[in-house]
Amino acid sequence: MLKRTTLDNGLTVVYEQIPNVRSVAIGFWVACGSRNETINEQGSSHLIEHMLFKGTKQRSARQIAESIDAVGGHLNAFTTKEYTCYYVKILDQHLRLGLQLLADMVINPLFSPEELEKEKNVVLEEVRMYEDTPDELIYDLFTQALLKDHPLGHPILGTPESILQIKREDLLQYKERYYTPANSCLAIAGNVESAQIIEECNSFWRNLPGNYTPEVNQPVHTVGTTCLRKKDTEQVHLCVGVPGFHRQHQDRYPLLVLNNILGGSSSSRLFQELREERGLVYSTGAYYAAFRDTGLFSIYAGTSLKNFPAVISLIRKELENLKENPVPLEELNRAKEQIKGNLWLSLENTTNRMSRLAKSELFYGRFVSPDEVMERVEKVTTEDLIRVSRGLFQSDLLTLTALGPFKEKEQETYLQGWDN
């Protein structure tokens, strides 16, 4: 049973009662991520996420960790380009502790100057670790190449320069600006009772302060480009992609199906062609991310420098194929069934159910049911796939980014498969 209520301070609470489980997942979601940051604020959203674990007026960082470990729970957080989430998964009998702990972290953080300096160093190590993970780093490079100076192109972690210059006062002002009832929500899924949720939430979350002023979307300008970055790696890691659709766009469902057909599984076209048939890659896949006002569609592959031209040529060939030739009905139905299976199986987890509630509230202001999603997916036709492919996979929109042991004087040789 799904329910929605608003607390006295304006904070929206969405919750789902699942009586046949013993756990409850609680998440505080705020519509604030790296896209909200100015050039000088890069990394602030992520650094605040770290600092909320470093102690409150009532609890030290150690006490926060011990209070969850003592009841066998799990406490964590993550930052994305458009939102930040703090969540706890705990036995239903400890619901009160979970709500109280999250509220304390969000409303009463200390932001100790000493802890802030230590945490900056922790984040700098995280940035270095990310630089040493090329199959993840390439997605950031692709986003930056495609979106240029738009805030969505900023790295979520920030840069070493931006992180070091952030001051305590900057973080406090940033948090005050975005961590408000009107710009956030509380989502709960598990074995809970309505009366208990309303009572406990009003008790612990009524002191979340602030008024939020919605921001004006910045226009997104994208043009296809090619970027080869030299890095001493064994493989070349590459992304080929285009601007996708924003999360309200009617064609996001055909693109979701295309994503599945191209690189959604081991039976997808690219996996079969690049790995199973030709042995050119170990890992390949497709990825679609929808944002408030734009989207990103990308294809990833990791290959040797020798095979790089062949891989990008085959990727481009497959994109052209989708523009000209209808997807067989059997393949289309298989993609739809896979999307359906992935969606329903993911909802057997209370944390995923909680996440779905929160995203529906933050992004759409209403609950988007799995049945509604599948109804839209089922309506996708082969004609839709050709139309969307022709609109998206245009040569002047295609962006190629690659990270690997390139030699500067041989760039034309590497790109032979791309220019043809």
Q: Annotated catalytic sites, by residue?
A: 49
Residue of 11, 49, 75 lying closest to 171 (CA atoms):
49
Q: At residue 102, what is the residue type?
A: L
CB 85 within 8 A of CB 77: yes
287 bridge partner residues: 298
**Tokens 């599945």 found at:** 260
Which token pair is 313?
């040529």
3-state secondary structure of 86: strand
Q: Distance between CA atoms of 15 and 12, rounded to whole angstroms?
A: 10
Q: Distance between CA atoms of 281 and 301, rounded to whole angstroms?
A: 7
- What DSSP element (H or E) covers 259? helix 252-263
From start to end of 7-110, where are the E strands? Answer: 12-17, 23-30, 74-79, 84-91
N residues, the chain: 420
Q: Distance between CA atoms of 187 and 362, rounded to whole angstroms?
A: 10
Half-sphere exposure of 335 (CA within 13 A, CB side): 27
Which token pair is 34?
């790296």
- What DSSP element (H or E) covers 399? strand 399-404
CB 79 within 8 A of CB 46: yes
Q: Distance between CA atoms of 73 and 88, rounded to whole angstroms?
A: 7
CB 316 within 8 A of CB 242: no
The DSSP code sequence of 324-344 is HSPPPHHHHHHHHHHHHHHHH
Residue of 159, 165, 95, 150 lying closest to 293 (CA atoms):
150
From start to end of 97-190, where are the E strands? Answer: 184-190
Which token pair is 272?
């079969």
